[in-house]
Amino acid sequence: MAPTFSTSDSLYEFVVKEGNGVKGLVDSGLSEVPERYVQPEEKRINKLRTRKHNIPPIDLSKLKGPDHKKVVDEIVRAAETIGFFQVVNHGVPLELLESLKDSSHRFFNLSPKEKSLFCPGVSPSTKVKYATSFAPEKETTLEWRDSISLGYTTDQDALQYWPNQCKEAALDYLKSASKLVRDILEVLIESLEVKVEESIVDIHSGMKVVKMNYYPSCPNPDLTLGVGPHSDVGAITVLLQDDIGGLYVKLDEDNNNNNNNNNNNQKEWLEIPPIPGALVINIGDTIEILSNGKYKSAEHAVRTSSKSRVSVALFNFPKPTLKIGPLEELVKKDGVARYRRVLFQDYMNNFFTNTHHGKESSLDFAKST
């Protein structure tokens, strides 16, 4: 019999404090979406008002060969417009991607008691965090998602502190995908046609986190969101989707010719459908700021499904002590600095201490006044 919650606080206690997560709700026999998870109508993704991203994936293996310029142009065009693209022949073994999805399911299928060992405050490492929603202590409406974040310091720490169910696959993914992150960042920075230090890629993507997301089956996906609208704060994100999908990108006015309404909630959502063997590449705020706005970090969100699903992201951040800002030579060429220089720790604090409220809620923090 499904548990009943007399108050919103009692549901919060069960889901968040006791570590049951959304999966615990669903496993208990939940037949309808609790009020605390029902998104305001203006925040929901109406599938009837979306369209699918139909641009073919980019073949990264062709970066080395006669089609180099064509592939570079494809990467740059995507980064300048929606900030998302998919890649194939990326160098990450397909069997590793399957193993990664399997290991994600293994972890989230643990009992609530076993998963709660990785909750903040009791986790064996501050770099390992099992959580639900995004900022449940601040959110009026909760997100339909459980997750575990695996911050990387050394191989030894990863193998010691990351959960046994997923540590080896997650570490292999981090190492393998980091190579394509470097290749893509080098393409983007070289295409800016300004002189930069050789270490610029490492400086802006040296801190790495693997995040495994679990979206339990939802009784009414139209009412909920797995992840609310936001842009990623780092340099670049590599995302593995399973075959169910649910990732959507919000088009801005420049890319939405069918929409003349400037209301942010009426902008068109573009579905990023899963492609077998492909990885999704997401440009983050750090690269938009570094490029003085030439490249775009896209606002994106996740719609839930009647089927449970997983995704695995590799986030690549600057170190917290780095001051991020537009490249000086670009500012001279553009005649304006669209963003100010900010300490990345401050930028992260602004993002992680607030709820998901769209791209501008984080990027505005660095905009020049």
Read off the pLDDT of residues 138-171 as tens digits, 9 standing for 90 and up.
Answer: 888 999 999 999 999 999 999 999 999 999 999 9
What φ, ψ does residue 70 adopt, rounded to 5°?
-65, -45
Buried b or exposed e, range 183-202, using 16+ CB within 10 angstroms: bbbebbbebbeeebeeeebe
pLDDT at 260 over 60: no
What is the rounded distance in angstroms from the CA atom of residue 235 to the CA atom of residue 70? 23
Read off the pLDDT of residues 162-211 as tens digits, 9 standing for 90 and up.
Answer: 999 999 999 999 999 999 999 999 999 999 999 888 889 999 999 999 99
Please tell me whether residue 313 adopts helix, strand or coil conformation: strand
Quickly count: other Cβ atoms within 10 Å of residue 122's Cβ: 10
Mean pLDDT, the chain, whole residue set: 91
Q: Which of 7, 9, 33, 11 is nearest to 21 (CA)?
A: 11
What is the rounded distance in angstroms from the CA atom of residue 287 to the CA atom of residue 351? 16
Query: How far is Cα of residue 139 from the mean position of the Cα atoms in its chain?
Result: 18
CB 291 within 8 A of CB 215: no
Q: Dmax of the chain from CA atoms?
A: 66
Task: Show the domains of the chain with their CATH numbers.
Answer: 12-255+262-321 (2.60.120.330)
pLDDT of residue 148: 98
CB 184 within 8 A of CB 243: no
Distances (CA, A) of 13 to 8, 24, 39, 84, 142: 9, 12, 20, 37, 13
CB 265 within 8 A of CB 42: yes
Structure tokens at 38: 């029902």
Quickly count: other Cβ atoms within 10 Å of residue 97's Cβ: 23
With both helix axes pointing from N to C terminus, report the angle between 94-108 and 167-190 in degrees, rounded to the nearest 10.
130
Q: Which of 201, 197, 188 is nearest to 288 (CA)?
A: 188
Query: 155-159: long-range contacts at Cβ-Cβ below 8 A with a sequence spacing of 24 or more?
Result: 157/125, 157/127
Helix (H) or strand (E) run with residue 68 in it: helix 68-81
pLDDT of residue 352: 79
pLDDT of residue 262: 42
Rounded to a whole number of angstroms, the distance between the first and last alpha carbons of the chain is 55
In sequence order, the β-bridge partners of residue 315 are 209, 237
What φ, ψ does residue 69 adopt, rounded to 5°?
-65, -40
Read off the pLDDT of residues 50-74 as tens digits, 9 standing for 90 and up.
Answer: 999 989 999 999 999 999 999 999 9
Query: Mean pLDDT over residues 36-41, rounded?
Result: 94
